[in-house]
Copies of this chain bind each other. A is one copy, B any other.
Amino acid sequence: MKKKLSIKDIAEQLNVSKTTVSFVLNGKASENGVSQAMQRKVLSYIEKVGYRPNKMAQGLRTGKSKTIGMMVEDISDTFFSTIARKFEEILTTKGYKIIYGSTENNTDVTKELIRVFRNHQVDGYIIAPPPGIEEDIKALIEDGVPVIIFDRPLTELDVDSVLVDNYRGAYKATQHLLANGYKNIVMVTLLSEQTQMRERERGYRQCVEEAGGKPAILKIRYHEKKEKAIADIEQYLKNNRKTDAVFFATNYLAENGLEAIANCKLAIADRIGVVVFDDSNWFRLFKPSITAISQPIEAICTEVTNLLMERLEQKKEIAPKAIVLPTNMIIRNSSVPVKKAGRT
């Protein structure tokens, strides 16, 4: 077992003090008047023996762990894992590591997660918050810990946040369906208090009502069994034969909904239009390919990390920013009847 060497060893070997080594290590050598020659000597020796400072000791001393705590609903969800990858990419270049936790969109789980992260002394938080977590986040902020919220807003809390315009995204999706001649659009969404879901619903409602229609909404419970979800959607479709388009509020719902549509033997596009909120790599391969509202993942990540770094580096008070990004509609064939426009 190769003995891990400490700053003390380095200092002894070099016949200098720990301070000098520490200064060099932290780039404070010049400002503390360590000679260039000495700096080079230390640096090259460190390089040679492959010394790396112990983060634990550093963390204990400085109160900084150089890790960021990321909390999302479920890290296995494509949307979040793609984001996790981007965060990693960006934060790594800044010398940070990420520790993650899945909230399951559950307040208690999240509270516990925050506690654990605090114990680990994470330097900052990136959170897609579940409902009812306002108080805990507020406490964090009051303690001066950088927190960036994304994906879901936290109303009544002044905090840095990066969101997507769910309302407009849903509105545009609905509008697009109406423009393509679909008259009876049902929105399939989650039975959930999540604000972003409510916003999507609001966008849909608004658009339908403006067009003089009446909204039809089917809600599925969050962790509903796949079979039950499919059966429910199927049932709805059978009881409402006039329905000629479906707007799925999430990717995950579409997974079940598309199966339900297949079971009902309804021809997508011609007999029933389909638009999904959140894109998937696979959608372009479906026949017909599936129209989707895609979130600007790249932009979300850079905005979040920018805000975070700002907080991390800034010492002076800065007012929280709320950034809202537009969605992007990717029109494919599922929302365009063949008679009017597309090929399947």
Instruction: Name the CB-closest residue of B to A256.
Output: B285
- Flag whether A281 is at the interface (Cβ < 8 A): yes
- Flag whether A97 is at the interface (Cβ < 8 A): yes
- Flag whether A284 is at the interface (Cβ < 8 A): yes
- Flag whether A286 is at the interface (Cβ < 8 A): yes
- Flag whether A280 is at the interface (Cβ < 8 A): yes
How far apart are A82's CB and chain B's nearest CB, in angstroms?
5
Please indicate the chain B residues that have their CB under 8 angstroms from the CB of A59 in the complex: 56, 59-60
Contact pattern, A 111-124, Cβ under 8 Å of B = 1, otherwise 0: 00001101111000
- Flag whether A57 is at the interface (Cβ < 8 A): yes
- Flag whether A12 is at the interface (Cβ < 8 A): no
**Given the interface contacts A99-B97, A121-B56, does A143 sit within 8 Å of B76 by beta carbon?**
no
Can you tell how many copies of this chain the complex includes? Answer: 2
**Given the interface contacts A255-B282, A282-B255, does A84 sit within 8 Å of B78 by beta carbon?**
no
- Flag whether A98 is at the interface (Cβ < 8 A): yes
B1, B54, B77, B144: the one within 8 Å of A121 (CB): B54
A238 to B88, CA, bound (A): 41
- Flag whether A8 is at the interface (Cβ < 8 A): no
A55 to B142, CA, bound (A): 22
Chain A interface, number of residues (Cβ within 8 angstroms): 53
- Flag whether A130 is at the interface (Cβ < 8 A): no
**Those of A256-281 within 8 Å (CB) of chain B:** 258-259, 262, 280-281
- Flag whether A65 is at the interface (Cβ < 8 A): yes
Please indicate the chain B residues that have their CB under 8 angstroms from the CB of A280 in the complex: 282
How far apart are A71's CB and chain B's nearest CB, in angstroms?
11
Contact pattern, A 46-61, Cβ under 8 Å of B = 1, otherwise 0: 0000001111110110
**Given the interface contacts A55-B121, A59-B56, does A76 sit within 8 Å of B82 by beta carbon?**
yes
**Given the interface contacts A54-B121, A55-B121, A281-B255, does A142 sit within 8 Å of B97 by beta carbon?**
no
Contact pattern, A 83-103, Cβ under 8 Å of B = 1, otherwise 0: 011101100100001111110
Most chain B CB within 10 A, of A74, A81, A86, A118, is at: A81
Taking A1-B144, A286-B287 as given, write out 8 further A-B residue pairs in contact, using a Cβ cutoff of 8 Å, ordered by the A residue number. Answer: A52-B118, A54-B60, A56-B59, A67-B120, A75-B81, A78-B78, A97-B99, A99-B99
